[in-house]
Structure 1
Amino acid sequence: MADTTVKIDSETRDRFAAIAAARGQSVRSYLSELAIEEENQISLGRATAAFREAISRPGLLEVFDREFGGLPETQHSSRAA
């Protein structure tokens, strides 16, 4: 992968350097990891929005229960003994 230059102010550069150092990483490594984490957060946000939209459809949960027998019981039931 070819190197490139990104122009940022010195305060931001110093903040990145301090964070990277605290994590025992180079700035290059830290920024690479940060970019991947941010991409993952964007993907998770999209998936969450799609899931929320899907489960908000009328009748969806009833169809799920009918087809798959509902959700399994958990050991930590909120029912009174």
Structure 2
Amino acid sequence: MADTSVKIDDTTRDRLKALADSEHMSMKDYLAKVAAEKEHEKQLDTATAAFRRLMAPGVLDRFDADFGGLPPTTAHKTPRAA
């Protein structure tokens, strides 16, 4: 697969480089990892929404009361199931 360039501002580039360095990765590999993680998060969000639509009325309220509910989708730090 051919490489390409993306224009980003210096601040964003420096932030991405620092994040890649902290994981001992090239920026190319780090960005590929981030893209895969974001795709996975989107799939989990879709699955969670489908799960919540299928639950009987009252079940989700009880789940949220017992377990504090699900975090906002932007709060995902690690992969998790619905």
What's the TM-score, normalizing by structure 2?
A: 0.67
Partner of 1:15: 15
Q: Which runs of 4+ in 1 moved over 4 A?
A: none
- Cα deviation for residue 57 of structure 1 reads 5.9
Q: Give distance in 1, aligned partners of 2:48 and 2:13.
A: 33
Deviations for 1:9-53, whole angstroms, at most 9, x for unmatched residues? 010000000010011000000000000000000000000000000
Structure 1: unaligned runs, 5 residues or longer: 59-81
- Cα deviation for residue 2 of structure 1 reads 1.0
Identity across the alignment (%): 47
Alignment map for 1:1-80 (pairs within 5 Å): 1-56=1-56
Bigger CA radius of gyration: 1
Bigger RCO of structures 1 and 2 (CA < 8 A, at least 6 apart)? 2
Q: Give distance in 2, aligned partners of 1:28 and 1:56.
A: 45
Q: Give distance in 2, aligned partners of 1:48 and 1:15.
A: 31
CA RMSD of aligned residues (A): 1.4
- Cα deviation for residue 4 of structure 1 reads 0.9
